[in-house]
Amino acid sequence: MLKELVIKNRSCRKFDETFRPDYETLFSLADTARFTPSTVNRQAVRLMIINDEERCETVFDSLSFAGLLKGAGTPKDGEKPTAYIILLCDLTVAKEMHYDEGIIAQTILLAAVEKGLGGCMLGSINREKLFEELGIDRERYTIDLVIALGRPAQETVIDDISIGESTAYYRDARGVHHVPKIRTEDLLL
């Protein structure tokens, strides 16, 4: 069951804008994530849930999507995420928690897939814009990751490859998103 969730959990960059996850659903994702391991159990990661249309647009305008697709990976109108969870580090607790944030982000995305949602971790962020427009205290927090969420509106397939082949994701002529993954037997030493 977990393996199926991991396989299904592909970075989604096209969403059905007619569907917006409610706050309770997003809260449940955050609630699941709080049980993840934490370095020295510091629990310095904080989450900000965004699902109203106006603030979603603010967050969207602060992000860069799918650099390998050279602009073609940015969702168009009608395909934008309809919710976000922003991962921040509380500097009064720790200076950085990148490992913890990765674990929390993956857990949120797996829980989202289980609920029929899709998402994408984004690190290419205009942080200054988010600090200002969302009223985040830049002295107390760092903004480290943004998770875009919504109902998926894209087809994604995994292509098995060998070590040395290109790992660059791409879209084919039909718009299907391909994600190359190295075969298990090639990963093992």
**For 118-137, how does the pLDDT look when each residue is reduced to its tens digit (9 = 90+)?**
999 999 999 999 999 999 99
Beta strands, E only, the chain: 45-50, 83-90, 118-122, 141-150, 156-161, 170-171, 177-182
Residue 69's pLDDT is what?
77
Write down all domains in the chain, each with its CATH number in brackets: 2-153 (3.40.109.10), 155-189 (2.20.180.10)
Low-confidence ranges of the chain (pLDDT < 70): 71
Beta pairing, strands 177-182 & 156-161:
parallel
Q: Give the position of tokens 């922003």.
A: 86
Residue 122's pLDDT is what?
96
Residue 78's pLDDT is what?
96
Residue 68's pLDDT is what?
78
Residue 63's pLDDT is what?
96
Residue 67's pLDDT is what?
76
Beta pairing, strands 118-122 & 45-50:
unpaired
Vertex 169, ends 55 and 161: CA angle to 5°? 145
Vertex 115, ends 34 and 59: CA angle to 5°? 70
